[in-house]
A and B are shown apart, each in its own frame.
Chain A
Amino acid sequence: MDKLDLIEHFQLGDMSSFSELYKLYSRPALGTAYLIAGQKSLAEDIVQESFIQCYHSIKTLKNIETFDVWFYKIVTRTGWRMVAKNKSTLLLDEPETIDTLIDYNAFAKFNSCEEKMTIYESLAKLSLPLRTVIVLYYFNDMTIKDISKVLGCFEGTVKSRLHNAKKQLRHLIGEDINMPVIETNYTGKECVDHGK
């Protein structure tokens, strides 16, 4: 059974198709969530929540060929929400669990020791929208067009974010050290939800 058949069967309530889709998507979804959130445990929560949402909303997906965009929209939105929610909790209430934040704390080490950061470490320094665009483009191999659908943004916005993100990464990893870092703060205002 190919992917589209699985999605179709899943829409009809076939749990074995859901199970097969889980096998196909859980790993890349976890990778995406991990790169966005920076913690494995949080990434698992994001994937869990995303699949649950996927299960409950699958019947609302009209064109099964757009499943990837639809699914990663769920993953990124859930990711952003859970990252925002967990950031303060983890840092303030559970400092012992910060080991999972090691990767994203690496930039502090960079600042103090003037050591070069890896791409992955410097990813944490980016704002969530820039980080997400980088992850979807380079890890998930999505097109600009698909990313714009996932994020509910114009393609131009995605291109500009990608450009800025790469610029900042270059700066953070120690190349192009004189280039000023362009701060991009996500306000959420420019996003348009194509699904609505």
Chain B
Amino acid sequence: MENKQDFEERIRMELKLKGNEVSPSDELYSKIINDVINNKKGSFEMLKNRIINIGSKRLVAAILCALMILSIVSFSTSENVKAFATETINHIKTIFVLDGTNTDYKVVEKPADTTFIWLSTSKDTKLSDNELTKKVGFQVSFPEVLCSDMKLTDKCELIYLNKITYEDSQKLQPNILKAINDETVFNSLNTYEPARGVGALYTNDKSELFISNAPISAEIKNLLSSSKLTKVDLNGTLGYWAEIPVPSYSLIEQNAITQQDITKQPKDIKTSHMFFWSSNKVYYTIAFLPDKELSMDETVAIAKSFIDQSAK
């Protein structure tokens, strides 16, 4: 019979060997995250835009400005939920969002843990158009030059979460960024209805604009259909010139991520313009940096140039 020490060593060794044979499956973390998220309270039917950006300052500024434009949405909260919101609003952190349509809107204060926002997160990318096409699942083509002098300067990848509360968005921020390059993490965000998109910054002496492509979602449709629109023919494709109110939130930087601070009342609401069209279930939007707006006709020319060259 082996002595006490040898026997103990044998137990230790065999158990270490057996216990280390198993390793967590790839899906385990996603399951955990999904569970903690699904079991959270909150059933509000409200949408709001929120943007997180990482990348070069210029690109970040462009994307923030461009995406902030997609901020007007309408509430569809039930009366019961509204009552609950009024009750709890004094006890929990709140956010300030636009409520209403393009013609009739105001900034309202809403609970941060039950109010759904529409979140987009971006990161600059060096991937080619072909690589981006494979990654996002729809055709990506950013011409180097539009209308002879509007040059491509930066590209980025985007993650859209169509249904997430502000509170969850804060907790999940690092994961959302990771999701850009990690399909497993991306899938773990399923509860929030995630979608991939791409964007590019174009500049010339007169203007700086941001073109983004994203799969059509109900949220985007709601956003755009509630705006003041002018229809434009793009050689057979219908385009829209939209006038949109944009709340001027202050920008903050947390963990090297630039983002709007929607927990504070926006300074004011500005009117901005954007242009959009859809093709093959993808929405294309053109938005401008502040004070760099083009006229509707100039923007239509850019869109036509983009469509022509992308089709080649």
A and B held together in a complex:
yes
Is A175 touching B1 in the complex (CB atoms < 8 A)?
yes
Q: Check if A22 is an interface residue, CB within 8 A of chain B.
A: yes
| Segment of A28-36, A71-79, A107-115 in the binding face | A28-36
Known: A138-B11, A176-B1. A52 touches B19 (CB 8 A): no
Q: Are B174 and A52 in contact (CB under 8 A)?
A: no
Please tell me if the beta carbons of A22 and B25 are within 8 angstroms of each other in the complex. no
Interface residues of B in 166-193 (CB under 8 A from A): 170-175
Question: 8 Å CB contacts to B: which residues of A6-56?
Answer: 13-16, 19, 22, 26-28, 30-32, 34-35, 40, 43-44, 47-48, 51-52, 55-56
Nearest A residue (CB) for B17: A120
Q: How far is the CB of A19 from chain B (nearest CB, A)?
A: 7
Does A169 touch B at the CB level, under 8 Å?
yes
The answer on a CB contact under 8 Å between A32 and B19 is yes
Which residues on B sit within 8 Å (CB–CB) of A43?
A: 22
Give the chain A neighbours of B35 by CB distance below 8 A. 48, 52
Q: Which residue of A lies closest to B171 (CB)?
A: A15
Q: Bound complex: CA of A28 vs CA of B16, how far in Å?
A: 10
Q: Which residue of A lies closest to B36 (CB)?
A: A55
Contact yes or no, B19 A34, CB < 8 A: yes
The answer, yes or no, to whether A186 is at the interface (CB within 8 Å) is: no
**Closest-CB distance, B285 to chain A (whole angstroms):** 30
Q: In chain B, residues 128-176, which have Cβ atoms closer than 8 Å to a Cβ of chain A?
A: 170-175
Residue B32 interfacial (CB < 8 Å): yes
Q: Which residues of A contact B21 (CB under 8 A)?
A: 34
Q: Bound state CA distance, A169 and B10, in angstroms?
A: 11
B29 interfacial contact with A, CB 8 Å: yes
Within 8 A of B (CB), among A129-166: 134-135, 138-139, 166
- Check A47 against B19 for contact (C-beta < 8 Å): no
> Interface on chain B toward A: helix, strand, loop, or mixed SS?
helix
Judge whether A170 is part of the interface by a CB distance below 8 angstroms.
yes
B29 close to A119 (CB less than 8 A): no
Q: What B residues does A166 contact at CB under 8 A?
A: 7-8, 11
Interface residue from A30, A31, A56, A170 paired with B7 (Cβ < 8 Å): A170
Given contacts A35-B19, A40-B22, contact A13 B170 (CB under 8 A): yes
Q: How far is the CA of A43 from the CA of B25 in the complex (A)?
A: 11
Give the number of residue pairs across the A-B interface with Cβ within 8 Å.
Answer: 88
Pick the contact of B28: A44, A55, A170 (CB < 8 A): A44
Q: Is A105 an interface residue (CB 8 A)?
A: no
Task: Decide yes or no: A27 and B29 within 8 Å by CB, A119-B14, A139-B19, A166-B11 being known contacts.
Answer: no
Chain A residues, CB < 8 A from B14? 118-120
User: Is B2 part of the binding interface, using a Cβ–Cβ cutoff of 8 Å?
Assistant: yes
For the complex formed, measure the closest distance between the CB of A192 and the CB atoms of chain B, giving whole angstroms.
Answer: 27
Find A30's partner among B15, B24, B174 (CB 8 Å cutoff). Answer: B24
CB closest chain-A residue, reference B32: A51
A135 touches B15 (CB 8 A): yes
Question: In chain B between 2 and 50, which residues have their CB closer than 8 angstroms to a CB of chain A?
Answer: 2, 7-8, 10-12, 14-16, 18-25, 28-29, 31-32, 35-36, 39
In chain A between 164 and 196, which residues have their CB closer than 8 angstroms to a CB of chain B? 166, 169-170, 175-176
Quick one: given A15-B172, A56-B36, are A138 and B2 in contact (CB under 8 Å)?
A: no
A19-B175 contact, Cβ under 8 Å, with A120-B14, A166-B11: yes
From the candidates B2, B8, B16, name the one contacting A139 in the complex (CB within 8 A). B16
A169's nearest neighbour on chain B, judged by CB, is B11
Q: Which residues of B does A touch, CB under 8 Å? A: 1-2, 7-8, 10-12, 14-16, 18-25, 28-29, 31-32, 35-36, 39, 170-175
Of the A-B pairs whose beta carbons lie under 8 Å apart in the complex, a sample of 14, sorted by A's number, is A15-B171, A27-B24, A31-B19, A34-B21, A52-B36, A52-B39, A55-B32, A55-B36, A120-B18, A134-B15, A139-B12, A139-B16, A170-B1, A175-B7
Per CB-CB distance, the 8 closest pairs between chain A and chain B, nearest first, are A31-B19, A16-B174, A119-B14, A139-B15, A138-B12, A26-B24, A120-B18, A15-B171
Known: A15-B171, A119-B14, A175-B2. 19 other contacts (CB 8 A): A14-B171, A15-B175, A30-B22, A32-B19, A43-B22, A44-B24, A44-B25, A44-B28, A48-B35, A51-B32, A56-B36, A118-B14, A119-B10, A123-B15, A134-B11, A138-B12, A139-B19, A170-B1, A175-B7
